[in-house]
């Protein structure tokens, strides 16, 4: 697992086996994506595909150029593809397009190389947003960010995972007293908004099965959160569960990639 960037200015993560590398979301420019890949010793030519969670700009800003430059297949749902085309244009002002488009449906398993991928529906204000569960080489990893709350179907997909990449977007009090307009605050706190530190902590306390070696806290707001607040909320939640202190918490950054975590 290599999180290249996570936050409102761009999201991108590499999930890899020895034979297959997929880029989940491409919210950075192609140039910046390549820079961060190189910093982790990953050649962009070694990527097998790009998988898209949803069409918001911080997840697709560099997709058109990246996919075209490296001739990458792009996997997304039909509704996400339609929204991406309607909302984004290329440098010539034309609708963006994927030369090698692969459509998938939530709940239906597909494969990229030796990676088995299960997309699952998440609650967010996008056309057809998904999280992903990956299985390869006997290891299972799940990614769920940009979700307003934790419905049962998401909790189900997070069970039995060796690695988790989960949203810890905002501290509720920082959001309430922060500079955002009230309408934006309502959207962030809604059931199709973003997951708070408190909501993630509740999941870790009540529903998390305790099996992950790494829990990566992702999509931290630069305006409405602090890394220490996110970490402490998660640590306290795990601390009330006997035997879970061995779970290693890792925080993502907007500005620099995380070192690759190997399971």
Give per-residue pLDDT as tens, 146-197.
Answer: 999 999 999 999 999 999 999 999 999 999 999 999 999 999 999 999 999 9
DSSP letter for each residue of 145-180: -S-SS--HHHHHHHTT-SEEEEE--B-HHHHHHSSS
| Each residue's pLDDT expressed in tens, for the chain with a length of 263 residues | 999 999 999 999 999 999 999 999 999 999 999 999 999 999 999 999 999 999 999 999 999 999 999 999 999 999 999 999 999 887 777 788 889 999 999 999 999 999 999 999 999 999 999 999 999 999 999 999 999 999 999 999 999 999 999 999 999 999 999 999 999 999 999 999 999 999 999 999 999 999 999 999 999 999 999 999 999 999 999 988 766 655 689 999 999 999 999 99
Main-chain dihedrals φ then ψ at residue 14, nearest 5 degrees: -105, 130
Give which of 100, 96, 117 is closest to 108, Cα–Cα. 117
Main-chain dihedrals φ then ψ at residue 143, nearest 5 degrees: -125, 125
Domains of the chain, by residue range, sit at 2-251
For residue 200 the two structure tokens come to 């993630």
CATH classification of 2-251, choosing from 2.40.30.10, 3.60.15.10, 3.30.950.10, 3.90.1150.110?
3.60.15.10
């Amino acid at each position: 697992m290599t999180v290249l960037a996570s936050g409102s200015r761009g999201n991108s993560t590499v999930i890899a086996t020895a034979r297959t590398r997929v880029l989940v979301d491409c919210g950075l420019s192609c140039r910046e994506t390549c820079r961060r890949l190189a910093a982790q010793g990953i050649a962009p030519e070694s990527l097998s595909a790009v998988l898209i969670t949803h069409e918001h700009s911080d997840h697709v800003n560099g997709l058109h150029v990246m996919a075209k430059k490296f001739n990458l297949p792009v996997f997304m749902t039909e509704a996400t593809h339609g929204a991406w085309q309607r909302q984004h244009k290329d440098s010539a002002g034309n609708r963006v397009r994927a030369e090698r488009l692969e459509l998938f449906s939530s709940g239906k398993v597909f494969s990229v190389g030796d990676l088995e991928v299960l997309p699952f529906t998440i609650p967010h204000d996008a056309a057809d947003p998904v999280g992903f569960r990956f299985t390869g080489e006997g290891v299972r990893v799940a990614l769920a960010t940009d979700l307003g709350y934790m419905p049962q179907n998401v909790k189900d997909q997070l069970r039995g995972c060796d690695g988790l990449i989960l949203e810890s977007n905002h501290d509720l009090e920082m959001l309430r007293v922060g500079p955002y307009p009230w309408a934006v605050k309502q959207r962030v706190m809604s059931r199709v908004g973003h997951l708070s530190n408190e909501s993630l902590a509740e999941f870790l306390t009540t529903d998390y099965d305790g099996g992950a070696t790494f829990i990566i806290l992702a999509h931290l707001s630069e305006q409405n959160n602090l890394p220490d607040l996110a970490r402490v909320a998660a640590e306290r939640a795990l601390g009330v569960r006997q035997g879970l202190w061995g779970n290693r918490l890792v925080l993502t950054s907007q500005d620099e990639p995380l070192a690759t975590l190997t399971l």
